[in-house]
Amino acid sequence: MNKRNQTLSIAFIISISTLIGISTSFDILYAKNRIILATTTSTYDSGLLDYLLPPFEEKSGITVDILSVGTGQALEMGRRGDADVLLVHSRTREDKFVSNGYGIHRACVMYNDFIIIGPSNDPANIQGENVSVAMTNLVN
């Protein structure tokens, strides 16, 4: 290989390496300003994220891309590294996800209570019963 071709080859390799480095830097910068949230359809459909995300995005400068899927799909996306944050509702599966090394932190974000409301004189006589017993008594 003559001196000129050798110089061009070296210049080409340096140029490609620089472009790859710049491209990677842009990907890293882009990733720092954007996260993917995989959440359940019920959370997405509730409208809660429409209320919570705009102030978060404004204060943090981070854009949140939402993927609304079932809990199993969200956990699988997390396992594959296709989502940065998971908002799901299956405590047992969440704990297993973290203990298997796919997640680093699990936090309880929200919960719901199921309550039975009825007349104050309690004609079904279910006050103080656990939900299973109360529902059985209501049906019978």
pTM listed for this prediction:
0.63
Q: Where are the domains of the chain?
A: 3-99, 112-140
Q: What are residue 65's DSSP bridge partners?
A: 36
**b/e sequence 12-25, b meaning 16+ C-beta within 10 Å:** eeeeeeeeeeeeee
Is residue 5 very low, low, confident or very high in pLDDT (cuts 50, 70, 90)? low
pLDDT at position 29 is: 47
Q: Residue 24: pLDDT above 50?
A: no
What gap in Å lies between CA 114 and CA 131, rounded to an integer? Answer: 8
**Residues with Cβ within 8 Å of residue 100, at least 6 apart in sequence:** none
Q: Residue 28: pLDDT above 80?
A: no
pLDDT at position 27 is: 52
Task: List, for residues 99-115, the tens digit of each pLDDT value.
Answer: 999 999 998 887 777 78
Q: Which CATH superfamily is domain 3-99 in?
A: Periplasmic binding protein-like II (3.40.190.10)
pLDDT at position 21 is: 52
Task: List, for residues 72-94, the tens digit of each pLDDT value.
Answer: 999 999 999 999 999 999 999 99
